[in-house]
Homo-oligomer: A and B are copies of this chain.
Amino acid sequence: MDTPSPWLDADQQELWQDLLTVVIALPAALDRQLQRDAGISNFEYGVLARLSMADHVTMRFSELARDCNSTLPRLSKLMDRFEAREWIVRRVDPSDGRYTLATLTDSGQQKLVDSAPGHVAQVRRLVFDSLTATQRRHFGTALSNVAETVRREAAGGPTG
């Protein structure tokens, strides 16, 4: 392979700065709105949302962690809090004692329903309203590539 120039050019720098702004400030903005209006974080919202879409509103911890871009310790501790608020119940998987199942309770579902509209509105406002229909398509395509690369990295990646 030839020697790749070690630095980013001006265009790349600008894109990179904007991307940094988005990856840092966007989650912060989502957290602010959810914290203010619903007392939960963006991550917590995501877990409730994912569970609500599962069969019998029930999932294994490991699967839930993967889908929510989380680690197991992080999810385990979150579930402690959710259990205390009675938003989920924990039980050992009867078919394999290593797995733990989380099931969303009625009040957990209610919490999601209550906080969803404000959150969705915030997502619209911060992301979709900034883009034309064409831009949205292009953005989606490019983003899908980057997301795929990053997902692979998060798994075994180039190290494994």
Residues of B with C-beta under 8 A to A19 = 26, 127, 143, 147
- Which secondary structure characterizes the binding site on chain A? helix
**Cβ A69 vs Cβ B25 within 8 A:** yes
Pair A21/B142 contact, Cβ less than 8 Å: no
Q: Give bound CA distance, A47 to B46, whole Å.
A: 30
Instruction: Kindly state whether residue A138 has any CB partner on chain B within 8 Å.
Output: yes
Q: How far is the CA of A41 from the CA of B44 in the complex (A)?
A: 24
Q: List residues of chain B with CB within 8 A of the CB of A23.
A: 22-23, 26-27
Out of B16, B27, B124, B138, which one reaches A24, CB within 8 Å? B27
Count copies of this chain in the complex.
Answer: 2
In-complex Cβ contact of A146 among B116, B127, B150, B158 (8 A): B127
1/0 per position for A51-79, CB-CB distance to B under 8 A? 00000000000000000010000000000
Say which size band chain A's interface belongs to.
35 or more
- Given contacts A20-B46, A21-B151, A23-B23, A141 and B135 within 8 Å (CB-CB): yes
Q: Within 8 Å CB of A124, what residues of B? A: 4, 8
